[in-house]
Amino acid sequence: MAEQGEEAQRPWGRVAPAAVRPAGRPASEPPLVAELPALVTSVPAEGLLHGAVRVEGLSHGWVRPWRVLPAQQRSLTSCMAWYPGIFRQMAACTSGITLEFETDSSHVAVEVRLDAEPRATRNVLAGVDGAGEPLAHDGLSVDVDGRHRKPVMPTSAEGILPEARGDVLLVDLTRSCRSRAGGLQPLPGMGPARHVRVWLPCLRGCELGRVSGDGTFIRPIAPRDTMLVLGDSLSQGFCADDPARAWPSVVAPRLGLDLVNQSIGAQVFQPTALAGAEVMGLAPKLVVVALGANYRYGRCSERVVGREIADFLMRVDGLWGDSPLVVLVPATEGREAVSGSCYERVPGLIVAAASRVRRRRVSEGRPALLVSQMPALPASCLADEDGHPTAKGNARVVDLVMDELEKLDCRCLAELGEFGRCGACRHKATANRHGSRKAGERGGHADESHADDEAPFAPGSLMELPFE
């Protein structure tokens, strides 16, 4: 598709003047640096990364993690892209990339240098903040033994790591333990081993140095199987206000998978964006495509868009045909498109293109392809008029995706291309957080036995699909 003028047509709705945004809110309970023991254990951050498809080496041992390959980046910034300037900025963002390790340290410091907030991101968030003071909508958040902590920005290394060549994220791993132990703090290196996951920012890129602690070890977590997400700003994490709260960042850990999130703000179905993707060497346990919402912002031909969608899904199928594929269709209700856009036809074009890929998979006995409709979220779950979901809205999407993934266990979806005909699938009438579902609703079978109706969708069930 011909390149659009970046200034004339922006996929962000209301565009406010770029503002200088604050570095972020300080941690709510910063530890006293004067009481911080010596950080005697140190390892390169590179060995702790999850979700990066490549790592660029920099000087003095620093690295920059990437979620796209160089060939993909060139395609995203070429004349084949709708918004090459925006895509160049978004490709550098570290959405879905984490540092994950075990340590017996009481405190951990991560050396990090954050990129400036991209201009396109500032425009979106300025529209969210309105006339009020700009707020920090991103940062680095941390999970310690499964307990989540709100995102913060790194602070000066002065007094913590004087030799650091950037800022540091300082994490007090004993914060949740002291209250349970009557305020007592275990000596460094003598406490229990803790599992730590640091979520890197989803709306900007960063560079990493070393991870240091005051214990005796910092041990990497082995890579897991992968969930690959190809989407736009809704999947990248815009307006979730926490890189760990974007719906892909919640779904992947629930499935016991690592996340590779190649969602790019403003992206549409661009087949060339997958250029060179075969050298990633990924064999994902699950591939999710969540594109199409941004066609509402530009003039586009139904014939051209239909061809792009078909080519993109065929390309995905050619690259990862041995993986289950879920295609999420955007909700178009209440979304007014610009004049000359074929946006209202996009859902039908996606369904038609996915059907052709599904027929090919069924005929060749390969894993199932599932098409699911994204929910039309209420205004209370949206951050702006452009439809970016808040953390609450992302939680709604998580519920939908987790419910829909149960259908991949249906044998007839893989063998016949239709869900629910086998009578043996596990997607039955169950009670969930949204209330009871009657048999027959959302594909449930009214004549099925309900002996295991209450069985939850267990992480790892994607590994036991009947086509394997």
Mean pLDDT of 249-278: 96
- The residue assigned the tokens 């289950």 is 324
Task: Give the dihedral sign, CA 410/416/421/422.
Answer: negative
pLDDT of residue 456: 35
389 in Cβ contact with 382 (< 8 Å): yes
33 vs 454: CA distance, rounded Å: 50
Q: Mean pLDDT of all residues in the chain?
A: 84
Assign 193 to helix, strand or coil. Answer: coil
User: For 442-467, what is each residue's pLDDT tens digit?
Assistant: 333 333 333 333 333 333 444 333 33
Give the pLDDT of residue 128.
87
What is the torsion angle, in degrees rounded to the nearest 10, for the CA atoms of residue 81, residue 83, residue 87 and residue 90? -150
DSSP string, 287-343: EEEE--GGGGGS---HHHHHHHHHHHHHHHHHHHTTS-EEEEEPP-TT-PPPTT--G
Maximum average pLDDT range among 29-43, 154-168, 315-329, 442-456: 315-329
Give the predicted TM-score (pTM) of the model: 0.84
Q: Is the pLDDT of residue 28 over 90?
A: no
Rounded distance, CA 330 to CA 289, Å? 11
Residues 268, 272, 278, 280: what is their CA dihedral angle, to the nearest 10 degrees?
-60
Two structure tokens written together for 443:
């594909």
User: Which range has the worst mean pLDDT, 32-36, 81-85, 287-291?
Assistant: 32-36
In this structure, are residues 306 and 350 in contact, taking their beta carbons and an 8 Å threshold?
no
* Whole-angstrom distance, CA of residue 84 vs CA of residue 70: 14
Task: Give dist(CA 97, CA 45) in Å, integer.
Answer: 12
CB-based contact 124:12 (threshold 8 Å): yes
Quick: pLDDT tens for 190-211.
778 999 999 999 999 999 999 9
Q: Which amino acid is at 194?
A: R
* Residue 254: burial class (beta carbons within 10 Å; 0-12, 13-18, 19+): middle
